[in-house]
Amino acid sequence: MIKLIAGLGNPGPDYEHTRHNAGFWWVDEVARLLKTPLQMERGHFGLVARATVHGQPLWLVEPQTFMNLSGKSVASVARFFKIAPEELLVVHDELDLPPGEVKLKKGGGHAGHNGLRDIHAQIGSADYWRLRVGIGHPGNKNEVANWVLKKPSPDDRIAIAQALDRSLKSLPHLIAGDMDKATALIHTSKPPRPKPPRPIKASEAADQAAALATGSTGDSPPGATAPTKG
């Protein structure tokens, strides 16, 4: 059962559309869907919202401490509302997944992600859930810092947005703690490949060509009026 969802990112307009803010994007959509506005709570060092879903309180937080100190805000909310690590879902950008993919996992290391690193330290546990939003990798580890702080390409941004929309369908299962169903939805979230157009038979092609040649396509030509009954 998830009681707290934390989206990771950096505050301010300069970072709003950068890859590192993918966690903010997801939580923004949750707040919109649940019609609960995020508001600054200085005592928790972040934007915080509360919703009630099926009688259960759900807290949302977007730390405003910058990424490297994300745990300060997340731990503050978790401690105040007595939320255990296994009731926490952290949504963050993931270099090891391509744009368009999202994965759910519980526990594990921080893999060099500074936001996760600080959350580990602040809550004293790695036993929390993570929703990993793929942003792709620049291909060179020396370029990672610049990569995450830049806007994705238009195609990548569309792929990320579509993945966020699809993964949001798992929200009721995440809140209810049905992680198997949530995982099945998230991990099979790629859109179906479009079916190729049906091949036209030779006889159909000949009929269409003849119809075009004579102008008898079944539609009235431009400017014509439909016949009326006299």
CA angle in degrees (0–180, nearest 5) for 174-27-170:
25
Using only C-alpha atoms, what is the Rg of the chain? 25
Catalytic residue among 20, 44, 113, 120: 20
> Which residue reads 């790695």 in tokens?
126
- For the question of residue 54 being annotated catalytic, the response is no
Q: With 0-12 CB in 10 A as exposed, 13-18 as middle and 19+ as buried, what is 49?
A: buried
Q: Could you write out the DSSP letters of every residue in 48-84?
A: EEEEEETTEEEEEEEE-S-GGGHHHHHHHHHHHTT--
Point out the residues that are catalytic: 20
